[in-house]
Structure 1
């Protein structure tokens, strides 16, 4: 890494507990590398809203929810000592994060977000990112208590 390059960490935040863990890890990594952090949230219209994309109040409502999610996450995780920028984009989460990480040095996501298949070990977004990211990826899984031997 040359002297002029600032290490950039992109982190996906959707308000889930795993994305908050990912944000904590991303802040720590950016701090350790004297880098900067980009907090990215993607949103899309639910399938039942197909054809309603032109209604401006719908767009504004989804945008405001995404803004609140990001604000709450940044309030819960201390980002002291790290340059932080935030972005909200309309589109599928994986596509938004892959685009945002195009020039990043690291992409951090939680293993499970607010998707529909809660029993999967790895969510569809983190799986897509692991396979298609243009940079190294860190997928954060929550710690589970050790099971007692039977």
Structure 2
């Protein structure tokens, strides 16, 4: 018999965007990790909208990337702290804030992961949709199993 090693690790990737859906996804991922012995990697993606610097006829100016990153890190830390609550047996969680389109960042983070967990919708403009564009893209293109938590 050939010894076959699993190509995935025990990381559970969770997309966090400061929405109620992503907080639910993180809570679900923590419970799942507790049952399976996994670890959770909470990922937040950010990017400056392409037309932001050109609005109202202004020429591009310096964007405060450091301020955006600090805000994203603070929001991510608050979401993680709230989801962990007073857990007596905390699950190991790592956090990452990365610049780029959310779907691409999550797909890259999910390579080799055991699971990806997402909220059904974030802060997109189409509130009536059952599945947001990032979740839809990840479900279709992820290289690991993907769970979408409805909110």
TM-score range (shorter-chain normalised) is 0.7 to 0.9
Q: TM-score, normalised by structure 2?
A: 0.84
Match of residue 26 from structure 1: 29
**RMSD over aligned Cα atoms:** 2.2
Q: How is 1:71-82 mapped onto 2 (pairs within 5 angstroms)?
A: 71-78=77-84, 80-82=89-91
User: 1:140, 1:54 → 2: CA distance?
Assistant: 39
Equivalent in 99, 124, 130 of residue 108 of structure 2: 99
Between the aligned partners of 2:116 and 2:21, the Cα distance in structure 1 is: 14
TM-score normalised by length of structure 1: 0.85
**Is 1:122 aligned to residue 131 of structure 2?**
yes
Kept after mapping to 1: 8 A contact 2:9/2:114: no
2:70 aligns with 64
Length, aligned pairs only: 140
Name structure 2 gaps, 5 residues minimum: none
Deviations, residues 113-136 of structure 1 (Å, cap 9, x unaligned)? 011111111000000000000100
CA contact (8 A) 1:6 1:34 kept: no
